[in-house]
DNA sequence: GCAAGACAGTTGTCTTGACGTTTATTGTTT
DNA sequence: AAACAATAAACGTCAAGACAACTGTCTTGC
């Protein structure tokens, strides 16, 4: 079936991987896992999760306007199937408010409160420092190339409709 | 504080990212999430999770010998804090066996059964096809470069003691 | 040889993620 | 206008991940 595809079938790589594609994916997984561990540790000191932070950051980008729940969910970096409960917690802490506009009571508009805005602003420097710790050892050229390759890697698997923060 | 670091402080990138490092990490997250979705879908048809598959794959690499639980856990691609329960499920399905060697009853040796070996062998082609679908659109040169950059990105954050399958 | 400490797994508990179902609201059809 | 389908969000449930505390097993020092 793939005798013709010399690319992934080259017998030179004998050792641990069935294919170059597998090697790349496992490296992606491992690297994500290691870097996420650093981020998790940073966020745990702030009492907020990475998902929650990204939610607040996204809401800040339209502040003081709001955003419907589903739009918010589709624009997050990683898909979150239970937006409702994630927003519940942030609302309980007074970081955002929800309300149903009378002209279309199906949607729920989510807006950052001044307290939420203040918190996400306060976290910025810690987040930047964390990213610096994660990847600061790489040269600028490598970072740019890595970003490009990662975008190219997922490009065929993006819904063309829902573009997230990281898409151009 | 970082007026001197012209690298991440360059004002040219205004739009969405505080720094190049952040852009790379968010791209890493997003790309991992998208590619993992494909893998999850493939595995859901096999009634086994990616973590479980990697556990079996790792055990195959030493078959017919076994491996202590903790060593197994530290060599997985992503850390799994509840090895016990993960192994419980695989043992219940008859894919592996555990036993405590009398000379050191603290450790638990985990070994693949012939059934487990057969299953992981059967899954190989589906897994390879999935990785091909994930990343087959990239050229070999890009894939090699991506693997190199990913390794370099996590390198300072690896325990030098516990090297996983994806480390050289 | 016995108590203190280290080590390897296990168990309990709480939080998230995943996935299907339900409710409320609106638009459409007849 | 009533019935029907669609959409948006909420809810219920179950499995996975995270974290802490605990049990059983060596090892070491007195």
- Average pLDDT of adjacent 10-residue blocks, chain A of 168 residues: 43 64 94 92 88 93 92 88 91 92 91 94 92 94 97 86 54
**Token output for A149:** 């390759």
Q: What is the pLDDT of residue B15?
A: 56
Q: Is residue A167 part of a domain?
A: no
**Token output for B110:** 């985990």
CA distance A107 to B131: 38
Average pLDDT estimate for B86-103: 94
Q: What is the pLDDT of residue A82?
A: 86
Could you tell me what percent of chain B has a pLDDT over 90?
Answer: 73
Q: Is residue B5 part of a domain?
A: no
* Range(s) of the domain holding residue B34: 19-133
Q: Is B129 on the interface with A (CB under 8 A)?
A: no
Q: What is the pLDDT of residue B11?
A: 44
CA distance A69 to A84: 8
pLDDT at B9 over 70: no
Q: Is residue A150 part of a domain?
A: no
Q: Is B18 on the interface with A (CB under 8 A)?
A: yes
**Contact residues, chain A, for B124 at CB < 8 Å:** 18
Q: Is residue B49 part of a domain?
A: yes
Say whether A28 and B151 touch across the interface (CB within 8 A). Answer: no
Say whether A20 and B143 touch across the interface (CB within 8 A). Answer: yes
Q: What is the pLDDT of residue A7?
A: 44
The predicted-structure confidence for B123-139, as pLDDT tens digits, reads as follows: 999 999 999 999 999 99
Across the A:B interface, residue pairs with CB atoms under 8 Å apart total 196
Task: Tell if A106 CB is < 7 Å from nucleic strand D.
Answer: yes
Q: What is the pLDDT of residue B101?
A: 93
Q: Is A122 on the interface with B (CB under 8 A)?
A: no
Q: Is B49 on the interface with A (CB under 8 A)?
A: no
The pair phi, psi for residue A134, each rounded to 5°, is -65, -45
The CA distance from A103 to the nearest CA of chain B, in Å, is 32
In the block, which residue shows the tokens 């950059």?
A: B149
Q: Is residue A56 part of a domain?
A: yes
Q: Is residue A85 part of a domain?
A: yes
pLDDT band (50, 70, 90) for residue B8: very low
- Are the C-beta atoms of B134 and B38 separated by less than 8 Å? yes
CA distance B154 to A29: 11
Separation in Å, CA A150 to CA A34, A39, A160, B123, B148: 17, 19, 17, 27, 13
Q: Is residue B86 part of a domain?
A: yes
Return the half-sphere exposure (C-beta side, CA atoms, 13 A cut-off) of residue B95: 21
The predicted-structure confidence for B69-86, as pLDDT tens digits, reads as follows: 999 999 999 888 889 999
Does the model's ipTM exceed the 0.90 cut? no
The predicted-structure confidence for B152-164, as pLDDT tens digits, reads as follows: 999 998 865 555 5
- Using CA atoms in the order A94, A100, A102, A103, what is the torsion angle rounded to 10 degrees? 130
- Are the C-beta atoms of B137 and A156 separated by less than 8 Å? yes
Q: How many domains does chain A have?
A: 1
Q: Is residue A157 part of a domain?
A: no
CA distance A27 to B152: 10
Q: Are strands A109-112 and A67-68 parallel, antiparallel or unpaired?
A: antiparallel
Return the half-sphere exposure (C-beta side, CA atoms, 13 A cut-off) of residue A165: 29
- Are the C-beta atoms of B133 and B38 separated by less than 8 Å? yes
The predicted-structure confidence for B11-60, as pLDDT tens digits, reads as follows: 444 456 778 999 999 999 999 999 999 999 999 888 899 999 999 999 99
Query: The domain that contains A122 carries what CATH number?
Result: 1.10.10.10
**Token output for A37:** 């561990």
């Amino acid at each position: 079936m793939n005798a013709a595809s010399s690319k992934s079938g080259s017998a030179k790589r004998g050792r641990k991987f069935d294919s170059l594609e597998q090697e790349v994916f496992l490296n992606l997984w491992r690297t994500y896992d290691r870097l996420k561990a650093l981020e998790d540790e940073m966020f745990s000191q702030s009492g907020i999760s990475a998902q929650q932070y990204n939610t607040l950051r996204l809401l800040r980008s339209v502040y003081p306007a709001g955003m419907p729940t589903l739009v918010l969910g589709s624009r997050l970096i990683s898909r979150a199937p239970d937006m409702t409960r994630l927003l519940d917690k942030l609302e309980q802490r007074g970081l955002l408010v929800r309300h149903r506009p009378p002209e279309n009571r199906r949607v729920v508009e989510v807006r950052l409160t001044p307290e939420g805005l203040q918190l996400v602003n306060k976290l910025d420097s810690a987040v930047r420092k964390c990213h610096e710790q994660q990847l600061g050892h790489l040269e600028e050229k490598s970072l740019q190339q890595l970003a490009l390759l990662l975008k190219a890697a997922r490009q065929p698997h993006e819904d063309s409709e829902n573009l997230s923060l990281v898409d151009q």
